[in-house]
Amino acid sequence: MHLFDRLAVVLKYHKIVLIIFVLVVSGMMYQTYTTTPMYQASARLHIEEEYTADVANLRESYYAQDPDAYYNTQYRILQGRDLGRRAVKRLSLAAVPEFNGTGATPTKLSQITGAIKAALLAPFTGGEDPGDEEAELALDPEPESAPGEDTAPEDDDTSGLVDAFLARVDVEPVPSSRLVDVSFVSADPEFAARAANVLAEEYVAQNLDFRLQNTNKDLDFLEQEVARQQAKVQESERLLADYRETRDAVSLDDRQNIVVSRLNQLNDAVTLARTTRIQRETMYNQVANARDRESLTAIVQNPLIQNLRARLAELRRDKARLSERYGEMHPEILRVDSQIADTERQIDAEVDRTVDAIRNDYEAALAEERSLTRDLDQQKGAVEDLGRKSVDYSVLLRQAESDRQIYDSLLARLQELRVVGNSRANNVRLLDRARVPGGPFTPDTRRAWMMALMLGLGLGIGAAFAIDYLDDTVKTPEDITWRLKLNYLGLVPKVRGGRNPMLSGPVPHDFGEAFRALRTALVLSHAGQHAHIQVFTSAQPLEGKTTTAVNVALALAIGGSRVLLIDADMRRPSVHKQFNLTNDKGLSHLLSGQAKMRDVVRNSPDQNLLVITGGATPPNPSELLASDTMKRFLRQLETGPFAWIIIDTPPVLAVTDAVILAPSVAGVTFVLGAEMTRWRLAERAIDTLQAGRPRSVSAILNRVDTDSNRYYYSRYYGQHFRSYYADSQAAS
């Protein structure tokens, strides 16, 4: 929309804009100038974190671990009733006109409007001033209470004064610091500053009183605890000394360490000895039970036996070599036999010695294990005896140490509290006193004027654009015939639930009747022609173009006409989904020569209706529709067996497919979504269609919400007579 278009909208509805502007500005200005000016004064406090000592649990002093919790507590104390009662008493708030019922001085405009109001009401009130009765009801100043009575129970008047006072108090911490601003709002600037200072001073004094009271209580408690704990320390240390003398437990700790260390060493030694004995026992059992001792691992791995066996093997080879040349009694052979016998005796002797060594090792390991086991048992007894003796000693020692630690802690804390109590230190101080404010805090007249002007102008212009926006969509048949200048065929009511019903199944009565009316309008508009080819399109997606085309085809088929429905939206084919058909072959295959007519025609639920689906999406849908093949196909359909050919095409503003087919068909049916299609989109789409020089262009108003817009559609649709007929369960 151009800038001048926006200006034209404002000028068109300038009266509404002016009325809204005047009302908003007048109301806000009246509110501003009748509001009593309020002044805000602020005092600044410095609050340090207070170190805390939990005496009851005997913990050492530490700074508050959660500073947020501490500071939030202090903010609540600043706005608490106890502190408010102290400030109310010191300020004598009952004597202040702003709080005792007299009220602050009203503004001049309030006085003028009050006078006008009183004059208008005088005939009805007998001339009495309503303000006189209020003045008579003003509270008398309360006498000041004696010091120390600020903690007495509140009466109704005092409670009301405290509530009114605290309602004017605001506590605002300064970010990233330990500073806090305490503000007070009042119609009297001097009283605002005085009240802020009094509240801050009372908070500082109250905090110091609390600290001193807590310190004194802690000192009394700690002095008693220190005396009791000192007696406990003396008693526990005396019992420990007596036990050492009577049980000879002076060096019990050192002896216990030595005994336990000796026990651990013996335990390790017994474990090692047992492992060694088991290994040697296993080896000895293998040797004792073996039939062929020379094959045992211990024998085979003996270096001397290995050398002797090598020598024996060499002698046997020498004998075999000599036996080939000499007889058994030859001296050389006899010499070799003697050497072989001597070597075998040496091997047997060495085997016997090895077996004896294994047995001796086993017996020595067994004796060592038994000896260490006896020593271990004796040491366990010593440990048990020492443990029995050290139980009582450990209990007494731990008790004495615990009592001493508690005593030292209490004594140190007592000294700290004495220092703190004598110093009268306070972690809160008044940093900056409040000053008398130079101007009102509220209302801010300059800001109020700016807000009134901006809000009034914004609401007025917004209302103008809102009204204009309400007229920006196609709604009624007059919109089609007068503004779009199209032939109006009829309207289709909206079906609740977001469904896309088909006449082949159960549909609402008014929905079915709408398509029967459309069928009649189409038949009458094309009377006398043999075959009527109609292209269905829309300005933009989601206007119900495909559903309308399918139901019009079904209505014609139900009426007895032979109908062919073609899905020419090859980019986003959807007709096959309406009838649950496959889309493996369709119009794109027919136009590209990949299939014949009989291959792409499909049956539908109605015997008079045949369907050609879109087929696979080709790379050039527009070129296929503009091809000579498509033109020949349409000419053949004009002389074919079909009375009606319904072609579903893509939206006009998306692609030019409908414009390409427009000159070759009997007419174009333009589907408009009620309260969906904007004027400019519809007009641009129709201009685009007209560029293709169609023979005729008609329009259908689709998805009309007759329930929500009875005023618009009751004249064009039998809205008053819908209940006369029962809903149709299926088209007939």
- Of the listed ranges 20-34, 233-247, 566-580, 634-648, the least confidently predicted one is 233-247
> How far is it, in rounded angstroms, from Cα 108 to Cα 110?
5
Supply the pLDDT for residue 197. 93
Average of per-residue pLDDT across 41-52: 82
Provide the sign of the torsion angle of the four alpha carbons 687, 688, 691, 692, taken in this order: negative
Q: What DSSP designation does 290 have?
A: -
Q: Specify the pairing of strand 609-612 against strand 169-173.
A: unpaired
Instruction: Specify the residue for token string 């508009």.
Output: 525
| Cα separation values, 224 from 36, 282, 414, 508, Å | 60, 75, 10, 94
Q: Identify the three-state secondary structure at position 70.
A: helix
Q: Are 448 and 648 in contact (CB under 8 A)?
A: no
Residue 21, Cβ density class (10 Å: 0-12 exposed, 13-18 middle, ≥19 buried): buried
% of residues, the chain, pLDDT over 90: 21
Q: Which of 352, 325, 349 is nearest to 336 (CA)?
A: 325
Backbone angles phi, psi at 154, to 5 degrees: -80, 140
Q: Is 706:526 a contact under the CB 8 Å cutoff? A: no
Using one digit for the tens of pLDDT, what is the confidence trace for 541-588?
988 899 999 999 999 999 999 999 999 999 999 999 988 899 899 999
- Over 80: is that where the pLDDT of 713 sits? no
- The H-assigned helical ranges of 176-251 are 189-247
Residue 729 has pLDDT above 50, yes or no: no
Q: How does residue 720 score in pLDDT terms, banded at 50, 70 and 90?
A: very low
- What pLDDT, in 10s, does the model give residues 417-443? 777 667 667 888 898 999 998 888 777
pLDDT above 90 for 612: yes
Choose the most confident range, by mean pLDDT, from 112-121, 343-352, 615-624.
615-624
Predicted local distance difference test score (pLDDT) of residue 550: 93
For residues 98 and 191, the answer to whether their CB atoms sit within 8 Å is yes
Q: What is residue 58's predicted lDDT score, i.e. its pLDDT?
A: 40
What DSSP designation does 149 have?
-
Per-residue confidence at 179, pLDDT binned at 50, 70, 90?
very high
pLDDT at 86 over 80: yes
Q: Are 555 and 567 in contact (CB under 8 A)?
A: no
Instruction: Read off the pLDDT band of 675 (50, 70, 90).
Output: confident
> What confidence tens digit (pLDDT) does each residue in 220-273 have?
888 888 888 888 888 888 887 777 677 655 555 555 557 677 778 878 888 888
Q: Mean of the pLDDT values across residues 677-705?
A: 89
pLDDT at 9: 67
Sorting pLDDT into bands at 50, 70 and 90, what band is 29? confident
Residue among 43, 8, 157 nearest 95 (CA): 157
Give percent of the chain with pLDDT exceeding 70: 79
Check residue 357 and give its pLDDT.
78
User: Looking at residue 247, what is its pLDDT?
Assistant: 64
pLDDT at 67: 82
The alpha carbon torsion through 75, 79, 80, 83 (nearest 10 deg) reads: 100
| Neighbouring-strand partners of residue 668 | 535, 697
Averaged pLDDT, 492-507: 81
- Can you read off the two tokens belonging to residue 305? 């036996």
Buried b (16+ CB within 10 A) or exposed e, 4-13: eeeeebbeeb
What pLDDT does 387 receive?
65
Whether residue 668 is predicted with pLDDT greater than 90 in this model: the reply is yes
Residue 22 is predicted with a pLDDT of: 92
User: What is the average per-residue pLDDT within 481-496?
Assistant: 87
